[in-house]
Amino acid sequence: MLRPRRLVPAFTLAFLVACATTVAPPRPSVTPVAAEAPAIAAGVTHRTVVRTQPTPLVAHIVTIDLAKAPGNLKVVVDRGADGNLVATTVRELAARNGLFLAVN
């Protein structure tokens, strides 16, 4: 006795192909606005990029030239007496560890 063929996989494949070939309307081109701040230290710069399309975004970008930057990179965390991680602000971690720049 022959089994009836399933139409679900064929329909699913046809649907996916139809979705993949659908042309989306063009989005307006938006150039991100970048503002560069003065250097934080030798070899360390910070800039802010703001965009509104396709979704709002504000990005803070820190660039470090390891050959010029003073000191070295550290990863710091705050642990309680039991050794478990404790939630702490980035500002508190920087102050407690004597850092001039901290990134979350």
Residue 12 corresponds to which tokens in the numbers above?
A: 């699913």
Instruction: Calculate ∠ Cα 90-71-64, nearest 5°.
Output: 70
Q: What's the pTM value of the predicted model, to 2 decimals?
A: 0.51
Q: What is the pLDDT of residue 5?
A: 52
Contact 60, 99 (CB under 8 A): no
Q: What is the pLDDT of residue 7?
A: 46
| pLDDT in single tens digits along all 104 residues of the chain | 555 555 445 555 455 555 555 555 555 445 556 566 677 788 888 888 899 888 899 998 888 888 888 878 888 998 999 999 999 999 999 899 888 888 88
